[in-house]
Amino acid sequence: MKQKRFILQESELPTAWYNIQADMPVKPLPPIHPATKQPLGVDDLAHIFPRECCVQELDTEHDFIPIPDEVMDKYKAYRSTPLVRAYALEDALQTPAHIYFKNESVNPLGSHKVNSALPQCYYAKQEGTTNVTTETGAGQWGAALAYAASVFGLESAVYQVKISMQQKPYRSSIMRTFGAAVTASPSMSTRAGKDIITRDPNHPGSLGTAISEAVELATTTPNCKYTLGSVLNHVGLHQTIIGLEAEKQMAMAGEYPDVVIACFGGGSNFGGIAFPFMRHNIKDGKTTEFIAAEPESCPKLTRGEFRYDFGDEAGYTPLLPMFTLGHSFKPANIHAGGLRYHGAGMIISQLIKDGLMHGVDIPQLESFEAGLLFARTEGIIPAPESSHAIAAAIREAQKCKQSGEAKVILFNLSGHGLIDMSAYDQYLNGDLMNYRVSDDDIKLTLQSVPQ
Amino acid sequence: MKQKRFILQESELPTAWYNIQADMPVKPLPPIHPATKQPLGVDDLAHIFPRECCVQELDTEHDFIPIPDEVMDKYKAYRSTPLVRAYALEDALQTPAHIYFKNESVNPLGSHKVNSALPQCYYAKQEGTTNVTTETGAGQWGAALAYAASVFGLESAVYQVKISMQQKPYRSSIMRTFGAAVTASPSMSTRAGKDIITRDPNHPGSLGTAISEAVELATTTPNCKYTLGSVLNHVGLHQTIIGLEAEKQMAMAGEYPDVVIACFGGGSNFGGIAFPFMRHNIKDGKTTEFIAAEPESCPKLTRGEFRYDFGDEAGYTPLLPMFTLGHSFKPANIHAGGLRYHGAGMIISQLIKDGLMHGVDIPQLESFEAGLLFARTEGIIPAPESSHAIAAAIREAQKCKQSGEAKVILFNLSGHGLIDMSAYDQYLNGDLMNYRVSDDDIKLTLQSVPQ
């Protein structure tokens, strides 16, 4: 009988993260100070983030960074996650392609996010911090952070995008179950929130607004550090545990991916699965294709511009070199809340410029159609975010059907959709729609990018 | 570093289920016909259930029954499930006990139920059935059946207990996502449902009412078979894959359980983890203690009587020899919907009579307290049902703390609680209570047991 799942024993787990910055042919541009336009160093960032995270953020020298024992110990509660050959999906598509997925949805928190929440909270605790705060969209990151804070004995406060909290009430319950204080963003509890609500009382919130509020809380509260679930380099670094495992597991399966796919919000799950394989494109002459699947309604990779822009709505963050739609971009209320972000991470943005990867944009209905097919074949209901990766993988598998090529396609199933069932209900009832952004709208919000 | 998780590779998976009936010192009494009082044979049962399930139901000869290749192939999509050493929970309890749990919550459907849904649908398909129907409480079984039916190309219709559907709306969404037709029970779509609603318009439903409706649909619809998620012998048989894996995994950990614990509704997850270990009590002189954790509000094991009773509310089923509270017993609206059943399976009932296992009853608040501690230590939010097993395990671990014994405690984490977050919300808000049944109420409902 054909083997379906490939799992590493604890002794085989990777013990270091992979830092692609050390191997990139062109290093990412540095974050800069909005006023002085000077590059920021560790000291500049460390009043917001745990210092060790800032060191990792700017490290362009070390290709592998050891995972601390205390973090490794927590990883072992759920890692390795399975690599699965999707035979049933292949059959349904009648494709000669070999489709594999890395199943991060069996993490206890239901998504890959916990892979970075654990080290961020560990480093915060190590340097004497007592409180952490963050933003969250759909709530995958917030739930992971609430758990990680609880595990390392920290208090946590989470700003959740208002529209996502309304769409997925169970996620805030999960955060509270782990002991977090949860606030809908924009809120009246911060200066940034009040400003946004004053301008637009019905603002549904976005990752940009929630970041502004969390950063403000961190910078105005003693002993409190801000943590981030994506975008920044150190977050992607922590997520490379996914790809490093997958590399070993693909070897167990006797294959190597021709195509690697992940959905794309800020870049953390994409970088997590892609960077360890991209290393072999850079260093060993491999020719794997890397595809980031973004929503049609928030197309920064395919239709944004490479510029220095703020990471948040209010303009509190450093200026980051990114593919962006402008930090004032207000994404449509799609159910893939984790993908509603205006910009791409610094590493990703440089890799796109250098042609090492590319984006595709997926309409909402195509993503749900793909998610439903995946559920009914593989038995796992995917997060709406992950369904974008599935849709992109299905596109590739269908190309293989036409060309007859038996390509090896690997995608990251970043999370399950069990907290997103209202979205599936709406899809099954025919109540969902696509949201294509007009060129004019993008031109307009790009004006918010500082010159 | 200490190893936490023990996982079997696909080649190490058990390939046969364990049939404890072959080894029981006293065989279970047979099901009998309500009118004739004659024991029922395979032919009598096979107009309701798939025939192969009926053969397994009454098989007291074969100790191991091979798992069909087609079922094995589907098992491999998610098995083995991990055996986990709960170091963090042990630390929190400061107990010398070694606590292990078998993590069935990482099954794609979120609970152990799919282990029996797959073979039941496979056998139904094999004999030419086109439609299957069933009852479900919290919805774990219904979701598993909907998935299994979809996998084997069958149409499925599920009667879900009304109160549970209201408490956990996402579960019916999950069933619909897999293509099932879902109806709240009691409903006006069957004779049985109409009778119940006529007597009690506000009846919240129970597994007993839902079984009546599903059995009626199966017996009045051509090419339709009824499937059951617990209680019957063949269901417990299929679930022994859990304990057979756990046996190998405990050996990997170099330990053998002194105590085996599972929550108890009808007996399937209990039998699943317990029977393979109980075999060694019966045959090899082991002295493991087996504890079934039932809710205080539905205490058939600890306060019911051993009698021949109906398996459903309306009296459509054969008479089964069981510890029962009377088939008219209406359990309180606790959140552990899967444990709201008036009787115990035939094998379990005999094993209790013979002193091979025993029950404990857990108040609702103790179960949630245990579930919250488990979530905050082990990072997994348990199903309210499973929290009863956790509470019983904590009681045993606390006894060890007092006695200084380092007992090895193994419990089955039958499912996750991500669809039950409204229950956690209510618990955190202080809105839940205990429901202790009075002796008079039990005396009253026992009068519904036929003489």
Is the peptide bond between A321 and the residue preceding it cis, with omega within 30 degrees of 0?
no
User: Is A422 close to B84, i.e. CB distance below 8 A?
Assistant: no
For A378, which residue in chain B has the nearest alpha carbon?
B77
Distance CA B291, CA B284 (A): 20
Domains annotated on chain A, with CATH: 69-110+234-446 (3.40.50.1100)
User: Is A173 close to B419, i.e. CB distance below 8 A?
Assistant: no
Close Cβ partners of A53 (under 8 Å, ≥ 6 residues apart): A119, A120, A123, A232, A234
User: Is A77 close to B84, i.e. CB distance below 8 A?
Assistant: yes
User: Is A170 close to B375, i.e. CB distance below 8 A?
Assistant: no
Please give the pLDDT value at position A182: 96
Predicted confidence band of residue B301 (pLDDT cuts 50, 70, 90): very high
User: Is A418 close to B178, i.e. CB distance below 8 A?
Assistant: no
| Average model confidence (pLDDT) across chain A | 95
Indicate whether A1 pLDDT > 70.
no
Asked if B76 has any chain A CB less than 8 Å from its own CB, the reply is: yes
Predicted confidence (pLDDT) per residue in B100-120, tens digit: 999 999 988 899 999 999 999
Predicted confidence (pLDDT) per residue in B174-183, tens digit: 999 999 999 9
Distance CA A62, CA B10 (A): 37
Asked if A436 has any chain B CB less than 8 Å from its own CB, the reply is: no
Q: Which of A159, A292, A298, A304 is nearest to A218 (CA)?
A: A159
Predicted confidence (pLDDT) per residue in A172-214, tens digit: 999 999 999 999 999 999 999 999 999 999 999 988 889 999 9
User: Is A372 close to B10, i.e. CB distance below 8 A?
Assistant: no
User: Is A108 close to B378, i.e. CB distance below 8 A?
Assistant: yes
- Which whole number is the average pLDDT over B142-158? 95
What are the C-alpha distances in Å from A444 to residues A30, A448, B398? 26, 8, 64
Distance CA A424, CA B179 (A): 12
Distance CA B369, CA B430 (A): 11
Contacts A–B by Cβ distance under 8 A: 119
User: Is A170 close to B7, i.e. CB distance below 8 A?
Assistant: no
Asked if A108 has any chain B CB less than 8 Å from its own CB, the reply is: yes
User: Is A418 close to B77, i.e. CB distance below 8 A?
Assistant: no
Asked if A1 has any chain B CB less than 8 Å from its own CB, the reply is: yes
Residue numbers of B between 223 and 262 with CB closer than 8 Å to A: none
Helices (H), A200-315: 207-220, 233-253, 268-284, 300-303
Q: Show residues of chain A in contact with B4, CB under 8 Å.
A: 10, 73, 76-77
User: Is A170 close to B418, i.e. CB distance below 8 A?
Assistant: yes
Close Cβ partners of A373 (under 8 Å, ≥ 6 residues apart): A89, A92, A390, A394
Asked if B173 has any chain A CB less than 8 Å from its own CB, the reply is: yes
Please give the pLDDT value at position B450: 86
Q: Show residues of chain B in contact with A84, CB under 8 Å.
A: 77
Taking residue B57's Cβ as centre, other Cβ atoms within 10 Å add up to: 21
For A78, which residue in chain B has the nearest alpha carbon?
B5
Measure the CA angle with vertex A412, ends A27 and A370; round to 5°. 125
Report the largest interatomic distance among the alpha carbons of chain A, rounded to a whole angstrom.
64
Which structure tokens are listed for A142? 């917030």
Q: What is the length of chain B?
A: 451
Please give the pLDDT value at position A448: 86
Taking residue B10's Cβ as centre, other Cβ atoms within 10 Å add up to: 17
Q: Which of B43, B227, B229 is nearest to B132 (CA)?
A: B227
For A84, which residue in chain B has the nearest alpha carbon?
B77
Distance CA A280, CA A276 (A): 7
Predicted confidence band of residue A58 (pLDDT cuts 50, 70, 90): very high
Point out the residue among A1, A73, A421 whose CB comes nearest to the CB of B173.
A421
Q: Which of B275, B9, B174 is nearest to A9 (CA)?
A: B9
Q: Show residues of chain A in contact with B66, CB under 8 Å.
A: none
Measure the CA angle with vertex A307, ends A302 and A311; round to 5°. 90
Distance CA B398, CA B95 (A): 6
The larger pLDDT score, comparing residue B340 to residue A234, is at A234
Q: Is the pTM of this model over 0.95?
A: no
Which structure tokens are listed for B303? 């306060």
Torsion sign, CA atoms B134, B151, B267, A105: negative
Indicate whether B290 pLDDT > 70.
yes
Predicted confidence band of residue B1 (pLDDT cuts 50, 70, 90): low
User: Is B179 close to A109, i.e. CB distance below 8 A?
Assistant: no
User: Is A77 close to B4, i.e. CB distance below 8 A?
Assistant: yes
- According to DSSP, the residues that pair with B360 across neighbouring strands are B293
Task: Please give the span between the terminal C-alpha atoms of chain B, in angstroms, as a whole number.
Answer: 61
Q: Show residues of chain A in contact with B178, CB under 8 Å.
A: 375-376
Predicted confidence band of residue A315 (pLDDT cuts 50, 70, 90): confident
Asked if A41 has any chain B CB less than 8 Å from its own CB, the reply is: no
User: Is B77 close to A424, i.e. CB distance below 8 A?
Assistant: no
Which structure tokens are listed for B38? 């004659």
**Torsions phi, psi of B382, nearest 5?**
-80, 155
Please give the pLDDT value at position A337: 82
